[in-house]
């Protein structure tokens, strides 16, 4: 126990203004006696300065802090402690921003998987449509012209991802999912009645492309608001839905085309989509992150949101890593869709009609189902770029090697290997865009910008390959060399993008 410490003489000998006005005898007696303080002393006693004396005697203002006899040192110490506490709270707040699980989070994963199964699973089955169109409704058109339907569909889909990402960041996900579902179903049932190139193009490329572009990117971005440590894994699970759909739809359509005709084959697929998309709309629920705000009316209050979007865009445009990653992904995606579009025709030409030619797309996507989940698990442990770059390089090698797969056995091996590489790449590439985000509120915008580059790749890749096929009298050498070369260039840019991420995070596990 410390010795009692007497207050300064002016406090003990002269009553303060407040004590002289007091009418309580006890108060008067306490003010006239020497004041002592028992217990541990928080700071050394010292004479109060004139300024401190004036503050002590002055009347207390409402809301003003009470003076401390320990001066500013104690206040400074408390301020430092508060700052230290805020720094300690930072990581925990960041962890709370990502629940990393829970029923609601895993229902979102399941719902996003159903969405991609229904939509991109169908889009990746365009090879089955291309083979049918070439011998039925569009027999008068070249393969390059027919491929524009699938390329335009993917271009419109991915190019809409930028606007969809902005809407997602502002909290409109529920509306995007509902409107996109209605538009997608209208397109698929309209396609069942289409017979000319124009009507097929409008239904399959324009209507279905716009509808899918409205909600596919948000269905991936919403997973990034629930997960950070396991983000690549859950995106891989959702992306595996694409592989499941791309296995189911070619088989379903191939059987139904022969038995029921084009119209009822497409309608059967449409009814299946209707049930799955209704379930997805019921179980996906978004989280409201810090930057998400739903403006209630057009007023000046919307200006900060618009300003923040402009600021975010300027920041992204000035980042070398953003350009390197987007251009790198662009190069690899140019290569990815060339084999997917032409493998059916390639298999019929070199292995003849048979199970391999009929189920080529299904084999690729069946293997892709496992690689999309597996690549996500690997990426969460080794790093997104450390996983994406080897997979992109494997896509390049296998695109070059497709020309050598001219036997039935060789083609079967190639289909398995390409399914593994392509499925894993598509799964991890989406996580590459998300890894560049500084916070959860940027995920939709980053994904939208990245998928716009994917849109450009899908627009030019397959038509250029078709034009090269026509110019070389059906030889696949030029088309495959074009695709493989673009993938090599894309991987080189991704290596440079990875270097910027290594410097940014001071870690090789990026």
Q: What is the dihedral of CA 429, 430, 432, 435, to 10 degrees?
A: -160
Where helices occur in 36-102 by DSSP H, the ranges are 50-57, 72-96
Distance CA 284, CA 273 (A): 16
Question: What is the SS3 assignment for 196-234?
Answer: CHHHHHHHHHHHHHHHHHHHHHHHHHHHHHHCCCCHHHH
Strands 5-6 and 36-37: antiparallel
Give bridge partners of residue 5 from the DSSP assignment. Answer: 37
Q: What is the dihedral of CA 83, 84, 89, 90, to 10 degrees?
A: 80
Helix, strand and coil content of the chain, in percent to the nearest 5, comes to 75, 0, 20
**Residue whose C-alpha is closest to residue 376's, from 217, 221, 239:** 239
Distance CA 197, CA 212 (A): 21
Mean pLDDT in order along the chain per 10 residues (510 residues): 43 40 42 43 44 39 40 43 39 53 87 94 85 87 86 89 86 93 96 93 95 90 83 86 87 84 92 95 81 41 54 88 95 91 85 79 86 87 94 97 92 94 89 82 83 87 87 92 96 96 90
Residues 6+ apart with CB under 8 A from 300: none
The DSSP H or E segment spanning 135 is helix 126-135
Other beta carbons within 10 Å of 358: 19
Q: What pLDDT, on the 0 to 100 scale, is given for residue 280?
A: 95
What confidence tens digit (pLDDT) does each residue in 78-126 have? 344 434 433 333 333 344 466 777 788 899 999 999 999 999 889 888 8
What token pair was written down for 127? 């090879």
Distance CA 438, CA 505 (A): 11
Length of the chain: 510
Q: What pLDDT, on the 0 to 100 scale, is given for residue 94?
A: 42
Task: Classify 475 as helix, strand or coil.
Answer: coil
Evaluate whether 146 touches 428 at the Cβ level (below 8 Å). no
Task: Classify 101 as helix, strand or coil.
Answer: coil
Please tell me whether the overall predicted TM-score, pTM, comes out greater than 0.75 for this model.
no
**Residue whose C-alpha is closest to residue 253's, from 243, 242, 263, 244:** 263
Q: What pLDDT, on the 0 to 100 scale, is given for residue 289?
A: 62
Has domain 103-289+315-505 been given CATH number 3.20.20.110? no
Evaluate whether 341 touches 462 at the Cβ level (below 8 Å). yes
Residue listed under structure tokens 């190019």: 159
Q: What pLDDT, on the 0 to 100 scale, is given for residue 234?
A: 86
């Amino acid at each position: 126990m410390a010795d009692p410490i007497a207050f300064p003489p002016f406090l003990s000998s002269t009553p303060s203004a407040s004590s002289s006005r007091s009418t309580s005898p006890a108060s008067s007696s306490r003010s006239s006696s020497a004041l002592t303080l028992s217990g541990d002393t928080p700071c050394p006693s010292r004479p109060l300065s004139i300024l401190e004396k004036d503050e002590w005697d002055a009347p207390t203002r409402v809301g003003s802090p009470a003076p401390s006899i320990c001066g500013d040192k104690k206040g400074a110490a408390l301020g430092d402690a508060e700052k230290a506490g805020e720094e300690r709270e930072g990581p925990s707040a960041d962890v709370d921003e990502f629940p990393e699980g829970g029923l609601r989070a895993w229902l979102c994963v399941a719902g996003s998987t159903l969405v991609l199964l229904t939509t991109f699973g169908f889009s990746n089955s365009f090879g089955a449509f291309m083979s049918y169109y070439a011998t039925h409704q569009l027999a008068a058109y070249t393969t390059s012209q027919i491929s524009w339907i699938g390329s335009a569909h993917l271009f419109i889909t991915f190019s809409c991802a930028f606007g969809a990402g902005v809407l997602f960041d502002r909290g409109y996900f529920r509306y995007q999912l509902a409107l996109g579902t209605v538009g997608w179903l209208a397109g698929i049932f309209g396609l069942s009645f289409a017979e000319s190139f124009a009507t097929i193009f409008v239904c399959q490329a324009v209507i279905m492309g716009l509808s899918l572009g409205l909600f596919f990117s948000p269905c991936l971005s919403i997973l990034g608001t629930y997960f950070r440590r396991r983000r690549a894994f859950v995106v891989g699970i959702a992306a595996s839905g694409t592989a499941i759909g791309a296995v189911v739809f070619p088989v379903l359509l191939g059987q139904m085309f022969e038995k029921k005709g084009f119209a009822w084959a497409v309608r059967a697929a449409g009814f299946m989509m209707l049930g799955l998309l209704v379930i997805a709309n019921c179980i996906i629920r978004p989280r409201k992150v810090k930057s998400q705000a739903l403006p209630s009316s057009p007023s000046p209050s919307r200006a900060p949101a618009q300003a923040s979007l402009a600021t975010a865009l300027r920041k992204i445009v000035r980042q070398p890593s953003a350009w390197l990653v987007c251009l790198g992904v662009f190069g690899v995606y140019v290569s990815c869709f060339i084999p997917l579009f032409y493998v059916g025709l390639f298999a019929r030409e070199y292995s003849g009609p048979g199970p391999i030619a009929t189920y080529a797309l299904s084999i690729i996507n069946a293997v892709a189902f496992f690689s999309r989940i597996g690549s996500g698990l690997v990426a969460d442990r080794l790093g997104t770029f450390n996983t994406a770059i080897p997979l992109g390089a494997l896509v390049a090698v296998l695109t070059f090697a497709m020309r050598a797969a001219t036997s039935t056995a060789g083609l079967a091996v190639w289909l398995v290997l390409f399914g593994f590489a392509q499925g894993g790449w598509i799964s991890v590439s989406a996580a590459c865009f998300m890894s560049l985000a500084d916070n959860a509120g940027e995920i939709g915008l980053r994904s939208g910008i990245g998928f716009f580059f994917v849109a450009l790749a899908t627009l030019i890749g397959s038509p250029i390959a078709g034009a090269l096929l026509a110019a070389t009298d059906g030889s696949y050498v030029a088309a495959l060399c074009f695709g493989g070369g673009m993938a090599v260039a894309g991987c080189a840019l991704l290596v440079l993008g990875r270097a910027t991420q290594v410097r940014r995070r001071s870690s090789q596990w990026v």
